[in-house]
Amino acid sequence: MPIEALYIHIPFCHAKCSYCDFDSRACNGISLERAASVYLDRLCNRLDSFGAAGAFAHVATVYIGGGTPTVLGSRLPWLVKRVREWCDPVEFTVEANPESFDAPLAGELACSGVTRVSIGVQSFVDDELRAIGRLHDTPSARAAIEAALSSGLDTSCDLMCGLPGQTLASWNHSLDVAIACAPGHVSVYPLTIEEGTPLARRAEADPTLDPDEDFQAECMELAGDRLLHAGFERYEVASYAKPGKICRHNCAYWTGASYLGIGRSAASMVAADELRMFANLFGMSESDGGAARIRLVQKDDEATRFELECLGAREAMAEDLMLAMRMTAGAPVTLLEQARDVIGKVRVDEAIARALHQGLAAIDSVTGALQPTERGWLLGNELYGLMWDLASS
């Protein structure tokens, strides 16, 4: 399985949002310039090492995320060009926040080879944005989407439900504005309060800040109805796209494709045989002989420390089934047959029967694929758990 997707992590933001537990650091001005210069030097050295080892020969998608990549300003188009020296992806996405994204930068990114921008809007209600520590407001969010579209970039808009003070009326308003802005892609996420974040500390003192799961489920259902009516198709549990506008990079994560992550906290998932090409770049002499799939997470800026996880064939197959349940298309017949061969027909068929009986999944009458139902998505932990339990003997 050659590497199909490349992820690059930029760990800088102008400010940390109150709900964020991603690996990022807030800095501005000279401190950002100095930190970014050192970090990008290390990043590009690693990029060149992997490129020279042939790791990017089959890369089809690239995604630069963070953090907030757009805080790099003109350094970001430069980085895009450096990446394109090693590969020619059909999709090249950059994450952006409205306060650091404007028409000139959008134009530079388009000229450098970016094809797609994912804009972290979260809400089109200013009070809700302030409640979670976002730096932008509604006008700047709308301007960012317009700048991306005017530059010819495929554009995605992220929205979040369950925010402090959010109501069904305000959620409907955010959906109204998002649809009116006409991006080709919308992602809808329920807010999760992560331990150790400022929002978590506030919620300890004020439990009303804890997201209500029933409210979030109602918001997700409402978003589905509204976006479907507006011409979007749901292709993943949290993702909606106009025809031809799905995010191919994210689909790689959910369909078992090999991907490589570069930068602090970036994750890689590589077939064991493929990893042998460049195991030395992860400080390994060779891949684990008993592994079918290897996961690695870079733990520092210098790429000297990695967290390693080895998955056997059974675990890898169970993971593929679990991730397939995130997708509208579900698990195709070919994947189900592979699972029966690797895990055992009785175990797999028992899991399928339970998913069907509980209304978490259904069999497509035309393709025979096992597909998640709306109930399965709303009770995702139960559906995903059924599939992942197949990893155990």
Are 341 and 212 members of one domain? no
Residues 6 or more apart from 287 whose CB is under 8 A from it? Answer: 272, 273, 275, 276, 279, 294
Are 239 and 325 members of one domain? no
The pLDDT tens digits of the residues spanning 236-273 come to 999 999 999 999 999 999 998 999 999 999 999 998 88
pLDDT of res. 234: 96
133 pLDDT exceeds 60? yes
Query: Which pTM does this prediction carry?
Result: 0.95
338 pLDDT exceeds 70? yes
The pLDDT tens digits of the residues spanning 360-372 come to 999 999 999 999 9
285 pLDDT exceeds 80? no
CA distances to 173, 320, 326, 327, 330 from 369, in Å: 36, 14, 13, 11, 6
Residue 308 lies in a domain: no
The pLDDT tens digits of the residues spanning 73-125 come to 999 999 999 999 999 999 999 999 999 999 999 999 999 999 999 999 999 99
- By the 10 Å C-beta count (0-12 exposed, 13-18 middle, 19+ buried), 347 is classed as middle
H helical segments located in the chain = 29-52, 75-84, 103-112, 126-131, 138-150, 168-181, 198-205, 213-229, 248-254, 272-275, 313-324, 333-343, 345-357, 374-378, 380-388
Where a domain ends, among 250, 283, 299? 250
The pLDDT tens digits of the residues spanning 154-178 come to 999 999 999 999 999 999 999 999 9
Residue 377 lies in a domain: yes
Residues 6 or more apart from 47 whose CB is under 8 A from it? Answer: 8, 82, 83, 86, 262
Residue 258 lies in a domain: no
Counted domains in the chain? 2
Question: Domain holding 226: CATH number?
Answer: 3.20.20.70
64 pLDDT exceeds 90? yes
Are 344 and 237 members of one domain? no
Question: Quick count: other Cβ atoms within 10 Å of Cβ 314?
Answer: 18
Residue 279 lies in a domain: no
Question: 325 lies in which domain range?
Answer: 314-391
301 pLDDT exceeds 90? yes
287 pLDDT exceeds 70? no
Q: Residue 255: phi, psi to the nearest 5?
A: -120, 15
The pLDDT tens digits of the residues spanning 167-223 come to 999 999 999 999 999 999 999 999 999 999 999 999 999 999 999 999 999 999 999
Residue 150 lies in a domain: yes
Are 65 and 212 members of one domain? yes
